Amino acid sequence: MTNIICDICKKPIPYATRNWSWKTRYARYDTLKSKDLCPACLEALDGSVRNHFESKENFGFMEYKSTLDSSLKKSTEGSRRK
């Protein structure tokens, strides 16, 4: 079995799978721009992007993508320094 390590929190994701079901939803991991993220870190990343756009009435998809990319870079760079 291959151990999958979250690129943000650096913790292993036990029984990691990409298949989604109610039973495995907390053992699931996602990959964004070659970074593997555990469910908790993915939720935190989504929350930070959502907070950025909370006050905006309109925004474009490319703006969302660039904000998500910069938030992901910040999160993974911050965890590398620890």
Domain borders along the chain are 4-81
Whether the per-residue pLDDT at 42 is higher than 60: the answer is yes
Mean pLDDT score, 12-29: 78
39 compared with 15, residue with greater pLDDT: 39
Kindly report the CA angle at 61 between 47 and 57, in degrees rounded to 5?
Answer: 70
3-state secondary structure of 3: coil
Name which of 55, 59, 53, 24 is nearest 38 in CA terms: 24
* pLDDT on residue 82: 47
